[in-house]
Chains A and B, each alone.
Chain A
Amino acid sequence: MKSNAGVYVHIPYCLSKCSYCDFVSSRIDNTFEEYINLLEQEIYLWKSKSSINVDVDTIFFGGGTPSLLSPVQLDRILSRIVKTFAITNNCEISIESNPDTLNIEKLKDYKKIGINRISIGVQTLDDSILKEMNRRHSATQAIRSVLDAYNAGFTNINCDFILGLPSETRATIDNNIKAISELPITHVSTYFLTLSPNVPLSKRLQNNDIMLPTENSTIINWETMVNKLKDMGFTHYEISNYAKKNMECRHNLHYWNLDQWFGIGIASTGNLLTEDKNLKTLKRYTNFKKFSEYKESVKNGLLPEETFELVNGVKKVNEECMLGLRLINEGIPYSFVKNEYKVEHLLENGYIKFINDSIENNYEKHAQEKRIGLTEKGVLVSNQVISSLFID
């Protein structure tokens, strides 16, 4: 059975730069409107491609700050996608947003044009930390936008949180957890703060202006968060994602299942099956990162692909291992493992476990074969565990 595909649209603009951020995003400027036109043209370029003979059941606007798009602009892009790709009935259409760019009216309009899932960059609910991170919103604003989204009719609401932030304490975490429990949030993403050396926050750390929490307290905070989320009825379904029942992000699942997806826009990555369907080789392309190059390509009627790599053989097996293990309750078949000694060691020490066959929704799928997956302890050192299971 061929799986459906996703469409990812990148909006590389923000109002200002957060102090920990090194993503491809630039300050919003007069190219913004032009970029939207280019996106429409780029989407149109796919029309003639055979690879679009696949049903698209998720669309995701990511960034940057896609919520900078007015409902009208968003609608233009969305309609173009709908006209170009074969969109399924129950298509999940997500948008990432930052609280300072949202209001109830805008959210209602988003809902109206078909957006049915919203992801809000909350990060933390401590105002002084938000300030240090150069976020443009307060805790109150963040809470407000969750409620606005709900009141605008969104029933699928994700909030992003970052752990291990400077001056974060147990109280910070408790406060975040309390808010999650009280708000109509159906999905949570958490990840640890990672800093590249050249971002402003790194400089502040080097100068000892601020301090990161200790490894120990970050671990405890993470464990607390995981346990509390579980108590609230969230399933820890992916290393850094938690969802209420049936509220998993279907778009992101395409990534983790190594399905196909189209990447649209500057610096976007797409992943499509090549003609060589028997070998299941994937072509993973990445678009130009520079506006001028992106623009020139699209203007010339060419898909703005800058680089690509073919993913098959060992690469693909290892990606399946890596992504499969990210999905906590899916894992990978035991038969995948080449180094049994290594696995015994990981099992004995509680980094991986056999996934319980009786988990209802997995039963049919995996009854035939034993599967292994990460334990909570294993999630914390997932890089170590996964890389040790890679094949050569």
Chain B
Amino acid sequence: MNLMNKKNIRNFSIIAHIDHGKTTLSDRLIQKSDMFYKIKQDNKEAQLLDSMDLEKERGITIKSHPIRLEFDIDGEHFLYNIIDTPGHVDFSYEVSRSLAACEGAILLVDAAQGVEAQTVANTYLAIESDLEIIPVANKIDMQQANVPETIAEIHELIGCDENEIILASAKSGKGVDDILRRVRDVILPPSGDDSKPLKALIFDSHFDMYKGVISHIRVFDGVLKKGMKILFMANNETFEVMDVGVFKMGMVECSELSAGEVGYFTALIRKPQIVHVGDTVTNAKNQTAKAFPGYRKSLPMVFSGIYPINPNDYAKLKDSLEKLRLNDPSFQYVPESSDALGYGFRAGYLGLLHMEVVNERLLREYEIQLINTAPSVAYRVILRNGKTVVVENPSKFPDPSQIKSIEEPIVQASIVTPPEYIGSIMEISQNKRGRYQNMEYISENRVILKYFYPLSEIVIDFYDQLKSVSRGYASLDYGISGYQEEKIVLVRILVNSSPVDALSFMCVKDQAHYKGKSILQKLRKTIPRQMFNVALQAAVGGKIISRENIVQLRKDVIAKCYGGDITRKRKLLEKQKAGKKRMKMVGNVEIPQEAFLTVLKI
């Protein structure tokens, strides 16, 4: 990059708790940049950076989007690469990937909300990556903004001087110029060396139908050029670079990317598995001595079966999952099959929201109708023969007579909340088998509660419950802390005596009866009456712990059907038939998709 001195490049992220204003601030920066003049005002979308439909609808950022902006600041030209990071509890892995490509981070705190659980978690990640941190109190235009307290909390969190904290409103634009200058003054320019062998870090990737995998990279040393033979160091695969470019509002090709720059390259890579986030890219003929140590690896914590409703969609699903994983490396899957559901996959997600997002994308982007089986966590089963097996799929549950003991994953959670909700949070924690650890005041009005929970308890609706008992004020962050022995049983659901593996689940022994019963009750309501009686049973081992019946459908409406009724009647029956097609046959019982979903919420 000859036009610009490396001294004038800054690479940084914006980190914040969900909804604290990252996307709005990024938009504001885009508008301040030279690029803005090239964007037609009337084409401007609600938020420029959140491109996926899904994000618009949910209003949260899922994928990190790098963007390169140019500014004239006090008469000098600067190039800022900004990485908008996601802020939800399930996506902290993506934050860590973005941070590794940066020298600094803007820490954005909503002054009406104050420091929250993910403000804390993300700040720690930034500190671990040795980033310069620029603290900003955002939304000061809001009436509910409590600036002094927010300042005190930020001070408590990173130990900065209170006057270092920029007071801003991403909405009105106040403080944005201060932010631009502070970035210039505080964040170090990249320190790479163009003359050294190429060393670039992959921090993200996506798939393009024509160009194949598009790797998002930060170059640390050397220069990446079109036509160059490059090597992915983790898997030793060599490719020839087709295009090199940078991220402006769209992708813009350029001749090369030199040390310190953020951009992308393509190399006609058809297999998504080749490109690993965290891998190092180097010149195949002139290799760098040492690869990056890699990102903090994030393991899937929640598992569930994904099956196409229409078995003919299997190949399409497989293909879509592959593409999806490319855009979302934290999503994992392996093929599996189920007696009830046929061929599908066992997928691993970061959390339940992640699971929802993946499923919505499959439906929306790839138009595949799916059935998800009950989510599960990975249990460690210690067998009598001394071996340990990891079981995250109820259908793989070992013969109980072979089991010595079972351990379940435990998370350590930090909940940041105003003190008045402590009581209710402790109450739900009790129900979720939580173990209290300690409590710390960040400020007079803000407490961090630390708890240990079994992961299985918090993956389902803990987050929703937490939000509802705290009127949305409490925030959550969690990480795996270890395993703990527990009496875990497999609950099988039988429909007319045939076990439906897709409805089976593992749970604590004491909860088996209650959970089995509530699943059966929900099933009874969702499975339509059939032309024979249907018996629903929940069983632990050979013992039936709960049962329900769906009585036979004996009577439709016997209606007249004369000339004017024929079309309507035909359409009604066609609709009935279409409805049946969306159902899964288990034995001879037709089970609608909703039935499989009910189990998700138990």
Contact B562–A255 (Cβ < 8 Å): yes
Chain B residue contacts of A240, Cβ below 8 A: 558-561
Is A319 an interface residue when CB atoms closer than 8 A count as contact? yes
Contact A380–B554 (Cβ < 8 Å): yes
Contact B556–A381 (Cβ < 8 Å): yes
Is A26 an interface residue when CB atoms closer than 8 A count as contact? no
Contact A384–B563 (Cβ < 8 Å): no
Chain A residue contacts of B4, Cβ below 8 A: none
> Closest A-chain residue to B573, C-beta based?
A387
> Closest A-chain residue to B558, C-beta based?
A192
**Residues 112-126 of chain B, each 1 if its beta carbon lies under 8 Å from chain A, else 0:** 000000000000000
State the CA gap A101–B576 with chains docked (Å).
Answer: 40
Is B357 an interface residue when CB atoms closer than 8 A count as contact? no
Contact A215–B563 (Cβ < 8 Å): no
Contact B531–A349 (Cβ < 8 Å): yes
Is A212 an interface residue when CB atoms closer than 8 A count as contact? no
Is B285 an interface residue when CB atoms closer than 8 A count as contact? no
Contact B558–A379 (Cβ < 8 Å): yes
Chain B residue contacts of A379, Cβ below 8 A: 558
Contact A323–B566 (Cβ < 8 Å): yes
Which of the segments A41-49, A69-77, A267-275, A293-301 contacts the partner chain? A267-275
Chain A contact residues (Cβ within 8 angstroms of B): what range?
35 or more
Contact A191–B564 (Cβ < 8 Å): no
Chain B residue contacts of A311, Cβ below 8 A: 567
Is A67 an interface residue when CB atoms closer than 8 A count as contact? no
State the CA gap A194–B565 with chains docked (Å).
Answer: 14
Q: Contacting B555 at CB < 8 Å: which of A218, A271, A284, A323?
A: A218
Known: A215-B555, A349-B531. A191 touches B560 (CB 8 A): yes
Chain B contact residues (Cβ within 8 angstroms of A): what range?
20 to 34
State the CA gap A240–B567 with chains docked (Å).
Answer: 18
Contact A351–B531 (Cβ < 8 Å): yes
Contact B566–A319 (Cβ < 8 Å): yes
Chain A residue contacts of B532, Cβ below 8 A: 349
Q: Contacting B570 at CB < 8 Å: which of A190, A261, A319?
A: A319
Chain B residue contacts of A62, Cβ below 8 A: 562
Contact A252–B564 (Cβ < 8 Å): no
Contact A382–B558 (Cβ < 8 Å): yes
Contact B574–A381 (Cβ < 8 Å): no
Chain B residue contacts of A322, Cβ below 8 A: 561, 566, 569-570, 573
Q: Contacting B560 at CB < 8 Å: which of A189, A268, A382?
A: A189
Most buried by B among A263, A270, A323, A382: A382
Chain A residue contacts of B556, Cβ below 8 A: 380-384
Known: A194-B559, A351-B531. A318 touches B564 (CB 8 A): no
Is B572 an interface residue when CB atoms closer than 8 A count as contact? yes
Is A326 an interface residue when CB atoms closer than 8 A count as contact? yes
Contact B563–A261 (Cβ < 8 Å): yes
Is B430 an interface residue when CB atoms closer than 8 A count as contact? no
Chain A residue contacts of B563, Cβ below 8 A: 8, 254-255, 261, 263, 268-271
User: What is the CB-to-nearest-CB distance from B206 to chain A, in angstroms, rounded to a whole number?
Assistant: 37
> Closest A-chain residue to B581, C-beta based?
A392
Which residues of B549-602 are within 8 A (CB) of A? 553-564, 566-567, 569-570, 572-574, 576-577, 580, 588
Contact B562–A380 (Cβ < 8 Å): no
State the CA gap A269–B570 with chains docked (Å).
Answer: 15
Contact A383–B564 (Cβ < 8 Å): no
Contact B580–A284 (Cβ < 8 Å): no
> Closest B-chain residue to A381, C-beta based?
B556
State the CA gap A263–B199 with chains docked (Å).
Answer: 81
Q: Contacting B553 at CB < 8 Å: which of A222, A239, A309, A384?
A: A384
State the CA gap A192–B557 with chains docked (Å).
Answer: 6
Contact A387–B577 (Cβ < 8 Å): yes
Most buried by A among B557, B561, B572, B574: B561
State the CA gap A138–B42 with chains docked (Å).
Answer: 72
Q: Contacting A387 at CB < 8 Å: which of B554, B555, B566, B574?
A: B574
Contact A381–B561 (Cβ < 8 Å): no
State the CA gap A219–B558 with chains docked (Å).
Answer: 11
Contact A387–B580 (Cβ < 8 Å): yes
Known: A255-B566, A345-B588, A351-B531. A239 touches B558 (CB 8 A): yes
Is A286 an interface residue when CB atoms closer than 8 A count as contact? yes
Chain B residue contacts of A192, Cβ below 8 A: 555, 557-559
State the CA gap A179–B520 with chains docked (Å).
Answer: 48
Most buried by A among B557, B558, B562, B580: B558
Can you name 17 extra interface pairs (CB under 8 A) apart from A263-B563, A311-B567? Answer: A192-B558, A194-B557, A219-B555, A239-B558, A255-B563, A261-B563, A269-B564, A271-B566, A318-B570, A318-B573, A318-B574, A326-B561, A349-B531, A381-B554, A382-B558, A387-B577, A388-B577
26 inter-chain pairs at a CB distance below 8 angstroms, sorted by A residue, are A192-B555, A192-B558, A215-B555, A218-B555, A219-B555, A222-B555, A240-B560, A252-B562, A268-B563, A269-B563, A269-B564, A270-B563, A271-B566, A284-B567, A286-B564, A318-B570, A322-B566, A345-B588, A380-B555, A382-B558, A384-B531, A384-B576, A386-B573, A387-B573, A387-B576, A388-B577
Closest 5 CB pairs of A and B: A387-B573, A269-B564, A387-B576, A383-B556, A387-B577
Binding site for B on A (CB under 8 A): 8, 62, 163, 189-192, 194, 215, 218-219, 222, 239-240, 252, 254-256, 261, 263, 267-271, 284, 286, 309, 311, 315, 318-319, 322-323, 326, 345, 349, 351, 379-384, 386-388, 390
Binding site for A on B (CB under 8 A): 531-532, 553-564, 566-567, 569-570, 572-574, 576-577, 580, 588
